A = this chain, B = another copy of it.
Amino acid sequence: MTTEENIINAAKEVFVRKGFQGAKMQEIANEAGINKALLHYYFRSKEKLFEQIFSGAFQQLIPALSKKLDEITDIESFIRFFVPFYVDFIQKNPHLPQFVLHELSQNPDRIRSLAANQGFPLSKLSVMIDRAVAEKKIRPIETHSLVINILGLIIFPIIARPMIEGVIFNQNTKSYQNFMAKRSDEVVETILNSIKPQSN
């Protein structure tokens, strides 16, 4: 592992855990097992180092998603694919959403450096939804709403973990984990139910 990769890994760890303000250059240096000056030698400033980490935060996800989206043509299949896929990704990177959301709320302009900008293929989804609505397989719903509903149901319990574990599960970590283990199925069921055509 090169020094540069080493630094990137350490910085990713610290930035995601502490946020931009909370992360200290010394701590990143410690985490990487190197001198603080070396950090500045490789990435002139904290800001530049951060940009590097941050703009890469998404790229892992989008490609795999886009690819799969070409094979799938109906909305139910998409949901059944996407939800477990995304739940899995997020559970492997549980601090990532809170990190991204926090930094974005501190400095909304950073959105421009976010690869996801080019990214999320909403139009393909819209087509699927429109057709399903036309065929009366689902109730009418805006694409935005459906996407945001799905993301919210998945992301919220992750970023609100301390609150949920504390307030809803009375500090019982096991209960929370048990809840999360079933979360993917629960979200799929909730979403599919929520878009079923109205029977009255």
Q: Which residues of A does B touch, CB under 8 Å?
A: 18-19, 21-22, 95, 98, 100-102, 104-106, 108, 111-112, 114, 116-117, 119-120, 122, 139, 142, 144-145, 147-149, 151-153, 155-157, 159-169, 179, 186, 190-191, 193-196, 198-199
Q: A95 to B160, alpha carbons, bound, how many Å?
A: 15
For the complex of A and B, the 9 pairs showing the least CB-CB separation, nearest first, are A152-B156, A111-B166, A108-B162, A194-B194, A104-B162, A21-B21, A152-B152, A193-B194, A190-B194
Q: Which of A18, A186, A194 is packed against the most chain B CB atoms within 10 Å?
A: A194
Chain B: CB-nearest residue to A99: B105
| Interchain CB contact (< 8 A) of A151 among B105, B116, B160 | B160
A106 smallest CB distance to B (angstroms): 7
Chain B: CB-nearest residue to A97: B160
Contact A168 B111 (CB under 8 A): no
Tell me which residues across on chain B come within 8 A of A162, comparing CB atoms: 104-105, 108, 111
Tell me which residues across on chain B come within 8 A of A198, comparing CB atoms: 193
Q: A56 to B98, alpha carbons, bound, how many Å?
A: 22
Tell me which residues across on chain B come within 8 A of A22, comparing CB atoms: 21, 106
Tell me which residues across on chain B come within 8 A of A165, comparing CB atoms: 108
Tell me which residues across on chain B come within 8 A of A161, comparing CB atoms: 105
Q: A120 to B193, alpha carbons, bound, how many Å?
A: 27
Contact B102 A168 (CB under 8 A): no
Tell me which residues across on chain B come within 8 A of A117, comparing CB atoms: 166-167
| Interchain CB contact (< 8 A) of A166 among B95, B114, B194 | B114
* A166 and B101 in contact, given A149-B153, A153-B152 (Cβ under 8 angstroms): no
